[in-house]
A and B are shown apart, each in its own frame.
Chain A
Amino acid sequence: MSRIAATFARLGAQGRLGLIAYLTVGYPRLDATPALVEAAAESGADAIELGIPFSDPLADGRTIQAASQQALKGGVTVGRALEAASAARKKTEVPLLFMTYLNPILAFGLERFCRAATEAGVDGLIVPDLPPAESVDLRRAADASHIDLVFFVAPTSSETGIVAACRAATGFIYCIAVTGVTGARPELDPALLPLIETVRRHTNLPIVVGFGISRVEHLKALEGKADGVIVASALLDAIARAPEDPAGQVRRFLSDLRRPAAG
């Protein structure tokens, strides 16, 4: 069983909502990532999503755009991201996923990328500009390297789109919580719970909610409904508030998020 499947099986047995922490590789400094992965894993993250920065992140809001630009200026490459993942893997057994846009993967070579990611101890890939219909080549490469390839559903998805994502995905289904780009938001969209129910009818894979997730109340609202949540921009915002102590910020932010909501 893959690390991702094993993790969600364990979470399911415990009746717990999984927490996936997103970190931009090379942010806030080129060599920061392995220690931040360790800090996140020790502070309640059940899996870590590692964003390989891309020059044109068109599904991302300001926070991830800024982190990506800073990381690219700092010298992050796909090769460095693989090294960071490999170093992180030596520190923790939690599932690691790469999130990046298609072009850096294409430039590296689909098969070469999947092989190198697996060798680095990465368990899954998330590619926001790759819909199921365009995914044949990457799916083949991912299967050959036994790495999961996650697909998205969105509030705007048609039933056909939901079915296509559920058929194409391995690992989990990434359920986009808002009609929009990434970025912390105060409220959850009321359409989210019905969307999760629809997706549930089409798949046995875990359903993980991301985009806008930033508060204890969001996690509370999704307990028993989704299988996991991804916290990305809110975590990067926390790092940005004290970039001299990113590991401390990651620990504080994730611990607070895991604390039961007041009232």
Chain B
Amino acid sequence: MSQATPDTRGRYGNYGGQYIPETLMAAVDELTAAFDAAVKDDGFRHEFEYLSRTFSGRPTPVYRADRLTHEAGGAEIWFKREDLCHTGAHKINNALGQVLLARRMGKRRIIAETGAGQHGVAVATVCAKFGLQCEVYMGVDDMARQAINVYKMRLLGATVTPVESGSKTLKDATNEAIRDWVTNVRTTHYVIGSAVGPHPYPLMVREFQSVIGREARAQMLVETGRLPTAVVACVGGGSNAIGIFAPFYDDPVRLVGVEAAGRGLKSGAHAASIVGGRPGVLHGSFSYLLQDEDGQVMATHSISAGLDYPGVGPEHAFLHDQHRAEYVSVTDEQALAAFHQTSRLEGIIPALESSHAIAYAMPLAAELAAEDLVLVNLSGRGDKDLDIVRGASG
């Protein structure tokens, strides 16, 4: 497994690429050139690291979850505490990196799509800090179930634009953000929130998120003297997962991506693209996709708005086909149980997205030996999910 992937056209094996309207081609080329130059520029890297430290609150700690470990009765369970980042999730890492890049390119207007609202809040936060105009597209169904994040984005000075089309969730918000970008491409940078989209987005998002894995790898060595046996992360588009996975590619470490099985894979009401889909093109790249026989993208369901997306980043598709990472799924019900368990046993209220990873890590730890270590990416905190959980708990 080489860090050299993808190739210059953004291909991870057969996956990835740039399936976009011609109007965006020049912008994507400009972005690729700007990103390549920025990552080689010490000034850019220093600014990113400085603001990650002083603004985002990095590094985040790793934490041994003793009572969950005891409950599982096997391997030690550790959390990478991305929930402690400013704005409450790993999303700030990518938002900061891309907005810094947009500034370098002289773009004064920023747009984003958001599902759970965590990415939208992160982008609105960084735009507020730099005085940039910010517009966030959000499906009306998501606006209803994540009302607090809508309020936060507006407090931060962003415009939140409701998306009424299609399934009224993240997929449609992404369509609408792309349409805005096609229209305003000369002045606007589109900050995609996950490791999806046309090249260079998946690569760029991995670059800005891989700080998670680099920190976690070094911290685990300091705290335990060894590498984890397995790293577990939830996968919607897959940005927190790719961020924690990438620095472990060359290590003998199991990488496990947990998709949202919603009401169960057989129900059809789920969002497990790799486990339950087949390859296709959506939002600019070729990857696993939930689609019907006719190539129409299917409606998805997950209790977690951040995982409620029919596609997945092309690098995950590649890791799956290469058997370098395993992809599994967890239902709404299992995720909710892990949410409650983690709150009660550890004093940490996890995001419903991250609860999927915990729900898989518990039985995994039970199968492993006491000297094994399972590292879970606790990608975000659950404050935004309280209404949903309260509703689900009746």
Residues of A within 8 A of B (CB): 54-59, 61, 65, 69, 72, 77-79, 101-108, 128-131, 133-134, 151-158, 161, 165, 176, 179-181
Contacts and interface: CB of A to CB of B under 8 A. Distances in A.
A8 to B, nearest CB: 21
A46 to B, nearest CB: 24
Nearest to A151: B22
Nearest to B21: A59
A33 B100 CA distance: 50
13 contacts: A55-B297, A56-B171, A56-B283, A103-B296, A103-B297, A104-B296, A107-B294, A128-B21, A129-B19, A129-B281, A131-B25, A133-B9, A153-B22
B42 interface: no
B185 interface: yes
Contacts of A72: 296
A130 B166 contact: no
Contacts, number: 116
- In this complex, the member of B186, B280, B283, B296 whose beta carbon has the largest number of chain A beta carbons within 10 angstroms is B296
Nearest to A60: B179
B295 A156 contact: no
Interface residues of B, number: 36
Contact of A180 (B25, B182, B281): B182
A55 B20 CA distance: 16
B282 interface: yes
A29 B24 CA distance: 33
B114 interface: no
Contacts of A58: 21, 175, 178-179, 182, 283
B230 to A, nearest CB: 34
B9 to A, nearest CB: 7
Contact of B166 (A56, A61, A102): A56
Contacts of B165: 65, 69
A104 B175 contact: no
Contact of A152 (B9, B22, B27, B293): B22
Interface in B19-40: 19-27, 29
A134 B166 contact: no
Given A61-B179, A103-B296, A131-B19, 12 more contacts: A56-B297, A59-B23, A65-B165, A69-B166, A78-B295, A103-B281, A104-B296, A106-B280, A107-B294, A153-B22, A154-B22, A157-B25
Contacts of B20: 129, 131
For the complex of A and B, the 6 pairs showing the least CB-CB separation, nearest first, are: A107-B295, A104-B295, A152-B22, A180-B183, A154-B23, A103-B295
B305 interface: no
Given A59-B21, A106-B280, A156-B27, A179 B182 contact: yes
B169 interface: no
Nearest to B27: A156
B379 interface: no
B291 interface: yes
Contact of B294 (A77, A128, A158): A77
B193 to A, nearest CB: 16
A161 B22 contact: yes
- In this complex, the member of A55, A65, A69, A105 whose beta carbon has the largest number of chain B beta carbons within 10 angstroms is A55
Interface string B331-342: 000000000000
Contact of B22 (A57, A103, A176): A176
A32 to B, nearest CB: 19
